[in-house]
Amino acid sequence: MKFILLALLVVCAWGQAQPEQKHSRGAGKEIGSGAGDLGKGAAKGAGNLAKGAGKGVLDLVTLHPINAAASVGKGAAVGGKDVAVGSVKGTGKIGIGVGKAVKKIF
């Protein structure tokens, strides 16, 4: 009888244990992360643009003008996409950080 009572008491106490809460990042870290994403997107886009331009120059030198235009166009398109993705992600994180900072003030 004592064993059943003890087991019941342990089960009830175990069910009341508080789960650990996940702490979110602070406003400053969120803004810093957003600025990093902006920089990463710009750097990645510039790298793809340079890669496309370099491949285009190489194709032009080897007398492949159609491939050269395609390489430059692809480099510009992929580079533009990377810059856009980095800008949107970074701006979103900066907005979240600013919102957290304003919320903390009020």
Q: What percent of the chain has pLDDT over 70?
A: 81
Distances (CA, A) of 16 to 2, 22, 50, 68, 88: 21, 18, 59, 68, 42
pLDDT at 11 over 70: no
Residue 105 has a pLDDT of: 84
When pLDDT is averaged across residues 56-62 and rounded to a whole number, the result is 91
Residue with tokens 């342990």: 10
User: Taking the C-alpha atoms of 72, 77, 83 and 87 in order, what is their torsion angle to the nearest 10 degrees?
Assistant: 160
DSSP H helices in 16-64: 27-61
Residue pair 67/54 in contact (Cβ under 8 Å)? The answer is: no
Q: Among 85, 99, 88, which residue's Cα sits nearest to residue 24?
A: 99
Please tell me the pTM assigned to this model.
0.69
pLDDT at 6 over 90: no
The pLDDT tens digits of the residues spanning 15-55 come to: 555 666 677 788 889 999 999 999 999 999 999 999 999 99
Residue pair 45/18 in contact (Cβ under 8 Å)? The answer is: no
